[in-house]
Amino acid sequence: MAGSKLEKKLKKIVRAHPDIVVHPYSPSGSFVRAVLFCDQKELLRGQVVWDNETVPARWVVRAYLEDPDGPLVVEHPASEGEIPGAITRVVRRTLRSGR
């Protein structure tokens, strides 16, 4: 199944980030508006989402560690261009919380 334009854009952003990879179970399809990511060891999990169910619609970048006591770190970038920086901050804050 071919992915949506948004899915392809988001996967390109995630693939360009040095600390994460697209999660092997990230969804794919014509209506996908979220991409899952993880670190190389798959201890950190995250998501980049275009949330069009909120008013107004917004970008969401969130991540957590595979630890039930760990926090969920969330940012709402103001634009698509701010997603890479939001990923960096969310990943760093999540990994710091696990130390």
Both tokens of residue 14? 């995630």
Summarize pLDDT for 25-39 with one digit per residue, the tens: 999 988 889 999 999
Instruction: Examine the pLDDT at 2 and tell me if it is beyond 80.
Output: no
Whether 3 shows a pLDDT value over 80: the answer reads no
Three-class secondary structure assignment of 29-70: CCCCCEEEEECCCCCEEEEEEEECCCCCCEEEEEEEECCCCC
pLDDT digits (tens, 9 = 90+) for 40-78: 888 899 999 999 999 999 999 999 998 877 889 999 999
**Residue in the structure block whose two tokens are 């990879």:** 21
Q: What is the pLDDT of residues 68-80, one digit of tens each?
A: 778 899 999 999 9
Contacts of residue 28, defined as CB under 8 A and 6 or more positions apart, other chains included, come to: 1, 3, 7
